[in-house]
């Protein structure tokens, strides 16, 4: 179809259909997806894991692994600088290689697995420049690389650094530098800020926005974080089950969503203005027929659902009563002047001459039945502190008391095993926490055998099935392997394994950071439910301050190994005392219509008048 401003269209995808062959038959990953990207525009794609976001992006670059994947139908018309308007699907392999990296570039989700560990970061970027830029030598390519490093705020020393020597935010900047090294017309950013703390995330987003303006490039931005999309995108596509269920300007989508799935996604985000007892999930807003198709929800019913959700908010009196009850108890865990120092330099005689103070004199109490939030930027010492409590990292100095007993200097393996039964940890990455060769049933039974829980394997199996059902998984999954589950399901498996040995205290280390918003809501609700049912106490480590506010009673804010602020969650959010806490709170993408309006004005985009929003506010 002819367009009024056809020259403004950089890329147009029509009726993309991608299928994957699996052991259970053929699965349609993308089902008739069509969209356009204008020159200089940022288009966002949002949706849950498995909705087809990343497969859509990979299709544009013809990177679908075959087998098992196969592009069944569709075309991708791209305005190439060198070849004019072409159908990407009809290009030869060499022509496609010329476009990848040079004209269409991609930032992948996990930088550590995308960077070659045996080459320095500088070598990997100069290689891309030498490959796509004719008549250029290594010296000039190095100069260009260093210039790009400056633009993405990387130090010159990063040129000679290997990926493992850089922080998560720095590795992501290297990926951005590589993607931008040949000044592409279209940048595909696939979850580029997942698992980054809010301040690093803000820096990455600012870099992308600045580079888009300077290079006049378009961005296809994929994320499950709706707050990020609100700040970055001009238009949004919402994907569900391989299809685009709603699309429009970012302002329209956020101020007046039409599709029930979009409404559900927006409602799932933890709120900063009030404290809900239970987070809403997508299924609260969706009704399906017998074939799984989504049915339209009337505005009246949507409002009634919203009012029901809002009715479970915690009143100020309830919050204050809980706070008084919690701190009126004897502490379950006491940390006194805990220090963890790592040697970074030694002299010829092996004497340590320089140390990194990861945790430097931290003291606090944790009370029975509470959730203590621990927040701060990457590298502030959160994870090191959590692991030193468990003796997964040996403290340099200080004392840890659990139920009044000093556990700081336990050396006996038998005593340590007994301690580990009472104090457990849920790690950030559930996939690396599970043995890929062991079924999930065996993975949960194994620690039960170690701690002599249950008189026989049959009894243990019955308990495992009960635990799987407790974390909202089918007991029939007992004999399945970790790779057969989604990220959210794997995290539930790890929670079930933690509960199997009946602990009293659990450290949740970034346990929801990589989950999409709806699965995150389910896991947070589950953690709260289990806390009440099993009388658990949590330390909840996260960089996501909105999540921490929802789940925590009190919060500790860490910076450079020390606690810079502590207090009740609502007090810290309402009146932060330290400048560092204020900086963290200011970095949270809010996603409100007013914030979207400001972002669009800043990007010099026309802001339409909003339709009356479907409100979830209290009547």
Domain CATH number, residue 576: 3.40.50.300
Distance CA 70, CA 65 (A): 8
Mean pLDDT of 258-273: 82
pLDDT the model gives residue 227: 79
Residue for token pair 């006491």: 334
Residue for token pair 């991708």: 76
Query: Beta 294-295 vs 287-288: how paired, if at all?
Result: antiparallel
| Cβ neighbours around 163 below 10 Å, total | 21
pLDDT the model gives residue 444: 93
Distance CA 403, CA 382 (A): 22
The residue from 183, 207, 231 where one domain ends is 183
- pTM, full prediction: 0.80
553 in a structural domain: yes
**pLDDT at residue 1 above 60?**
no
CB–CB of 15/89 below 8 Å? no
pLDDT the model gives residue 558: 92
Greater confidence (613 vs 181) lies with 181
Greater confidence (497 vs 612) lies with 497
Distance CA 457, CA 484 (A): 24
| Cβ neighbours around 291 below 10 Å, total | 5
167 in a structural domain: yes
93 in a structural domain: no
The residue from 183, 207, 222 where one domain ends is 183
The residue from 159, 183, 207 where one domain ends is 183
Closest CA to 496 of 451, 447, 435, 429: 447
Greater confidence (50 vs 319) lies with 319
Distance of CA 215 to the CA centre of its chain: 28
Structure tokens at 125: 């970027």
pLDDT the model gives residue 3: 44
In the chain, how many domains are there?
2
Concatenate the DSSP letters of all residues of 116-146 into one string: -TTS-HHHHHHHHHHHHSSS--HHHHHHHHH
pLDDT the model gives residue 401: 93
219 in a structural domain: no
Structure tokens at 505: 């205290």
285-296 pLDDT, tens digit per residue, is 777 766 666 776
**pLDDT at residue 619 above 80?**
no
61 in a structural domain: no
50 in a structural domain: no
**Minimum mean pLDDT range among 250-254, 292-296, 301-305, 450-454:** 292-296
- Residues spanned by the domain of 374: 369-394+412-593
50-89 pLDDT, tens digit per residue, is 788 888 998 998 888 777 878 888 899 998 888 888 999 9
160-182 pLDDT, tens digit per residue, is 988 888 776 678 788 888 888 87
pLDDT the model gives residue 112: 66
224 in a structural domain: no
583 in a structural domain: yes
Distance of CA 443 to the CA centre of its chain: 25
**Minimum mean pLDDT range among 72-76, 107-111, 234-238, 262-266:** 107-111
**Minimum mean pLDDT range among 253-262, 284-293, 526-535:** 284-293
């Amino acid at each position: 179809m002819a367009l009024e401003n056809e020259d403004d269209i950089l890329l147009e995808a029509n009726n993309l259909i991608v299928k994957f062959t699996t052991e259970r038959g053929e699965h349609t990953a993308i089902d008739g997806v069509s969209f356009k990207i204008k020159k200089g525009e940022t288009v966002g794609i949002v949706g849950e894991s498995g909705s087809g976001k990343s497969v859509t992006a990979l299709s544009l670059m013809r990177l679908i692994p075959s087998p098992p994947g196969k592009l069944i139908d569709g075309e991708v018309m791209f305005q190439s600088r060198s070849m004019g308007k072409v159908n990407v699907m009809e290009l030869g392999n060499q022509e496609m290689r010329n476009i990848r990296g040079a004209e269409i570039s991609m930032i992948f989700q996990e930088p550590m697995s995308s960077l070659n560990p045996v080459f320095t970061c500088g070598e990997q970027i100069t290689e891309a420049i030498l490959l796509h830029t004719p008549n250029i030598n290594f010296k000039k390519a190095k100069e260009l690389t260093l210039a790009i490093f400056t633009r993405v705020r990387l130090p010159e020393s990063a040129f000679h650094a290997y990926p493992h020597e850089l922080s998560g935010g720095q590795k992501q900047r290297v990926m951005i530098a590589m993607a931008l090294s040949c000044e592409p017309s279209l940048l595909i950013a696939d979850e580029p800020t997942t698992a980054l703390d809010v301040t690093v995330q803000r820096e990455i987003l600012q870099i992308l926005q600045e580079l888009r303006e300077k290079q006049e490039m378009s961005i296809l931005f994929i994320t499950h974080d709706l707050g990020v999309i609100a700040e970055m995108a001009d238009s949004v596509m919402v994907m569900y089950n391989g299809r685009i269920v709603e699309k429009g300007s970012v302002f329209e989508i956020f101020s007046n969503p039409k599709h029930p799935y979009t409404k559900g996604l927006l409602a799932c985000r933890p709120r900063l203005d009030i404290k809900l007892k239970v987070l809403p999930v997508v299924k609260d807003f969706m009704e399906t027929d017998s074939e799984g198709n989504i049915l339209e929800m009337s505005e009246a019913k949507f409002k009634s659902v919203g009012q029901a959700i809002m009715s479970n908010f915690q009143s100020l009196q309830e919050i204050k009563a809980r706070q008084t009850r919690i701190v009126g108890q004897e502490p379950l865990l006491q940390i006194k002047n805990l220090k963890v120092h790592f040697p970074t330099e030694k002299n010829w005689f092996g004497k340590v001459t320089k140390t990194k103070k990861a945790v430097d004199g931290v003291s606090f109490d944790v009370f029975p039945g509470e959730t203590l939030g621990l927040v701060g930027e990457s590298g502030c010492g959160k994870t090191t502190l959590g692991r030193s409590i468990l003796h997964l990292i040996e403290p340099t100095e200080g004392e840890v008391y659990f139920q009044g007993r000093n556990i700081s200097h336990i050396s006996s393996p038998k005593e340590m095993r007994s301690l580990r039964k009472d104090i457990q940890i849920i790690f950030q990455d559930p996939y690396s926490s599970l043995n890929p060769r062991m079924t999930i049933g065996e993975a949960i039974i194994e620690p039960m055998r170690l701690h002599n829980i249950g008189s026989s394997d049959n009894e243990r199996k019955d308990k495992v099935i009960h635990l799987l059902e407790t974390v909202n998984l089918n007991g029939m999954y007992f004999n399945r392997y970790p790779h057969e589950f989604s990220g959210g399901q794997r995290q539930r498996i790890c929670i079930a394994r933690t509960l199997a040995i009946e602990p009293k205290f659990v450290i949740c280390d970034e346990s929801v950071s990589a989950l999409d918003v709806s699965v995150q809501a389910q896991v947070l609700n589950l953690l709260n439910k289990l806390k009440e049912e099993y009388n658990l106490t949590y330390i909840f480590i996260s960089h996501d301050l909105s999540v921490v506010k929802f789940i925590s009673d009190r919060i500790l804010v860490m910076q450079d190994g020390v606690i810079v602020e502590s207090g009740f969650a609502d007090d810290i959010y309402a009146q932060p005392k330290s400048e560092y806490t204020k900086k963290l709170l200011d970095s949270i993408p809010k996603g409100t219509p007013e914030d979207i309006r400001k972002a669009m004005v800043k990007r010099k985009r026309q802001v339409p008048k909003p339709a009356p929003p479907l409100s979830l506010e209290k009547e």
